[in-house]
Amino acid sequence: MSGILNSSIARKVAMALSAIFLLIFLLQHFLINFTSVISENLFNELSHFMGTNILIQAVMQPVLIFAVVFHFVMGFILEAKNKSARKIKYVSYNGGANSSWMSRNMIYSGLVILAFLVLHFIDFWIPEMNYKYIQFNPEDPTRYYGELVHKFESPLRVGAYVVSFALLSLHLLHGFQSSFQSVGCNGKYTPALKAFGKYFAILIPLGFIFIALFHHFNH
Partner 1 sequence: MNLTLKIWRQKDANTQGKIVDYPISEVSPDMSFLEMLDVLNEQLISKGEEPVEFDHDCREGICGTCSLQINGEPHGPDRGVTTCQLHMRMFKDGDTIFIEPFRANAFPVIKDLIVDRSSFDRIQQAGGFISVNTSGNTIDANSIPVNKHDADKSFDAATCIGCGACVAACKNASAMLFTSAKVSQFALLPQGQVEATDRVMNMVRQMDLEGFGNCTNTGACEIECPKGISLENIARMNREYLKASTK
What is the contact surface with partner 1 in residues (CB under 8 A)? 6-13, 78, 81-95, 97-100, 103-104, 106, 174, 177-178, 181-187, 190
Compute CA distances 194 → 28, 97, 161, 199, whole Å.
Answer: 21, 20, 26, 9
Q: How far is the CB of 144 from partner 1 (least distance, A)?
A: 38
Q: How far is the CB of 85 from partner 1 (least distance, A)?
A: 3
Q: Residue 98 or 135: which CB sits closer to partner 1?
A: 98
Q: Residue 10 or 24: which CB sits closer to partner 1?
A: 10
- Longest CA pairwise span in the chain (Å): 63
Distance, CA of 130 to chain centre = 23
* Contact predicate 51/128, CB 8 Å: yes
**Angle at CA of residue 212, ends 210 and 218, nearest 5°:** 95
| DSSP structure string for 52-91 | H-HIIIIIIHHHHHHHHHHHHHHHHHHHHHHHHT-SSPPS
* Contact predicate 14/5, CB 8 Å: yes
**Angle at CA of residue 21, ends 118 and 100, nearest 5°:** 80
Q: How far is the CB of 190 from partner 1 (least distance, A)?
A: 8
Q: Residue 106 or 166: which CB sits closer to partner 1?
A: 106
Q: How far is the CB of 121 from partner 1 (least distance, A)?
A: 27
Q: Residue 42 or 183: which CB sits closer to partner 1?
A: 183
Q: Residue 57 or 103: which CB sits closer to partner 1?
A: 103
Q: How far is the CB of 83 from partner 1 (least distance, A)?
A: 8
